[in-house]
């Protein structure tokens, strides 16, 4: 298993649960590294089911959103599923305004997201 600096990854019931190290995902260098680490989950480690738990994340830049879109494409490319949980109201609003709530499967809690993987 790889070592990550921007995320922590645990495995539960065949789902890779990703938590973010940073409260604010805005710095371009950190975002690049985050993108590489998220993509490695799919391209290197071949993890098809990924849950991004945003608990503790206060802010997400548009560049970070692009990394999430890229990850979603890669996950779908290996017939996997990506779910997002625990988004603060402000971040969830950004997903709605940008219509990304239609692209991503947003769940209120990690438990809700885990249950959805079982469907």
**pLDDT, block means (10 residues), the chain with 119 residues:** 90 98 95 97 97 97 96 97 98 96 98 96
Q: Give the model's pLDDT for residue 2.
A: 74
Contact call for residues 3 and 21 (beta carbons, < 8 A): no
Q: Give the model's pLDDT for residue 62.
A: 93
Q: Give the model's pLDDT for residue 1.
A: 59
Q: Give the model's pLDDT for residue 96.
A: 97
- CA angle, 79 then 81 then 87, to 5°: 160
**How many Å apart are CA 27 and CA 25, to the nearest integer?**
6
pTM for the structure as a whole: 0.95
Q: Give the model's pLDDT for residue 79.
A: 97
Domains identified in the chain and CATH numbers: 7-114 (3.30.750.24)
């Amino acid at each position: 298993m790889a070592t990550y600096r921007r995320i922590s990854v645990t495995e539960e019931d065949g789902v890779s649960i990703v938590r973010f190290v940073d409260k604010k995902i805005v710095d371009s260098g950190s975002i690049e590294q985050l993108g590489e680490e998220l993509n490695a989950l799919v391209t290197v480690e071949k993890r098809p089911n990924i849950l991004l738990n945003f608990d503790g994340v206060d802010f997400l830049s548009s560049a970070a959103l692009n990394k999430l879109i890229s990850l979603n494409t890669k996950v779908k490319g290996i017939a996997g599923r990506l779910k997002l949980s625990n988004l603060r109201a402000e971040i969830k609003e950004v997903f709605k305004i940008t219509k990304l709530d239609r692209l991503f499967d947003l769940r209120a809690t990690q438990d809700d997201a885990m249950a959805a993987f079982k469907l």
